[in-house]
Amino acid sequence: MFKYKFPRPAVTADVVMFTMRADDLAVLLIRRGADPFEGSWALPGGFVDENEPLERAAARELEEETGVSGVPMEQLGAFGNPGRDPRGHTVTVAYFTFVLAESVRARAGDDAADVAWHPLRSLPLRSSFSPRAKPRTRSKPPPITLAFDHDVIIDAALGRLRERLDDPLRPSRFQLVPPRFTLAELQRVYEVILGRTLDKRNFRARLLARGLVEPAGATARKTGRHRPAQLYRWNR
């Protein structure tokens, strides 16, 4: 019987799932129900089974721990610094995605004690995520404790998400907005992800001048006395 002479680290798969909740960019986290890091919040994920494809492992763990399935994901990268897992040398392959909040219903399962969407402004991220200015009356959520090196993984996923805004027509397995959207809705997503306010006139002029969007041939439902807004779609 062949014996592999080099030590082999364990392999896990984790999922960073973003969404927009009100004026916050949020990520789906589970509260760990067992050691290590029992009681801490973490990304949905777990060990890859023998002969199991990585993306299938990520999708399986996501469904087992949160009940969410059928979500398109993209591979973010591998994270394997020694010491990231007190159980031993573990390499995780992380995936990320962005979903419309109303399209998923999460519930705790498997070894997750709880599951919840957490605004990025409440997380101890190394990038010091700064959301766009909000009313002073709005209180900042209390900080939470993240397990493993999941702050590093979320930071990396946020960076990749921001890259999507530089090239919105790049083929992607997930969408940041519905197929038809108003320019106000699109600007709101940009501002929340980038963490800064954008000039309305310049934002729209840039999109239209570059031919990134085109009218979708319909208007949004009228609200109040305002004229219904034009709906757009990406000009792919």
Give domain status of residue 100, yes or no.
yes
In this prediction, residue 70 has a pLDDT band, given cuts at 50, 70 and 90, of very high
**Which of 109, 132, 166 delimits the end of a domain?**
166
Angstrom distance (rounded) from CA 183 to CA 231:
8
Residues 132 and 216 in one domain: no
Give domain status of residue 19, yes or no.
yes
For 145-190, the pLDDT digits (tens) are 899 999 999 999 999 999 989 888 888 888 899 999 999 999 999 9
Q: Could you give the percent of the chain with pLDDT greater than 70?
A: 89
In three-state secondary structure terms, 229 is: coil
Give domain status of residue 223, yes or no.
yes
Decide if 88 contacts 41 (C-beta within 8 A).
no
Residues 41 and 155 in one domain: yes
Give domain status of residue 189, yes or no.
yes
In this prediction, residue 137 has a pLDDT band, given cuts at 50, 70 and 90, of very low
Residues 192 and 224 in one domain: yes
Give domain status of residue 161, yes or no.
yes
Residue 43: count of CB within 10 angstroms of its CB? 28
In this prediction, residue 81 has a pLDDT band, given cuts at 50, 70 and 90, of very high
In this prediction, residue 124 has a pLDDT band, given cuts at 50, 70 and 90, of confident
In this prediction, residue 135 has a pLDDT band, given cuts at 50, 70 and 90, of very low
Highest averaged pLDDT of the listed ranges 79-88, 101-110, 131-140 = 79-88
Give domain status of residue 174, yes or no.
no
Q: Single out the residue of 135, 120, 133, 134 nearest to residue 21, CA to CA.
A: 120
Q: Give the domain extent around 204.
A: 183-234
Residues 207 and 114 in one domain: no
Residues 195 and 110 in one domain: no
What type of residue sits at position 132?
R
Angstrom distance (rounded) from CA 92 to CA 42:
13
- Bridge-based pairing of strands 90-98 and 230-234 is unpaired
Give the CATH number, domain containing residue 111: 3.90.79.10
Q: Single out the residue of 12, 48, 18 nearest to residue 160, CA to CA.
A: 18
pLDDT of residue 13: 98
Residues 16 and 90 in one domain: yes
Residues 36 and 153 in one domain: yes
Give domain status of residue 178, yes or no.
no
Residues 51 and 92 in one domain: yes
Give the CATH number, domain containing residue 188: 1.10.10.10
Residues 161 and 203 in one domain: no
Note the pTM of the prediction, 2 decimals.
0.88
Is the pLDDT at 204 greater than 80, yes or no? yes
Q: How many domains does the chain have?
A: 2
Residue 102: count of CB within 10 angstroms of its CB? 8
Give domain status of residue 50, yes or no.
yes
Residues 92 and 197 in one domain: no
Residues 128 and 218 in one domain: no
Residues 139 and 48 in one domain: yes
Highest averaged pLDDT of the listed ranges 10-19, 100-109, 193-202 = 10-19
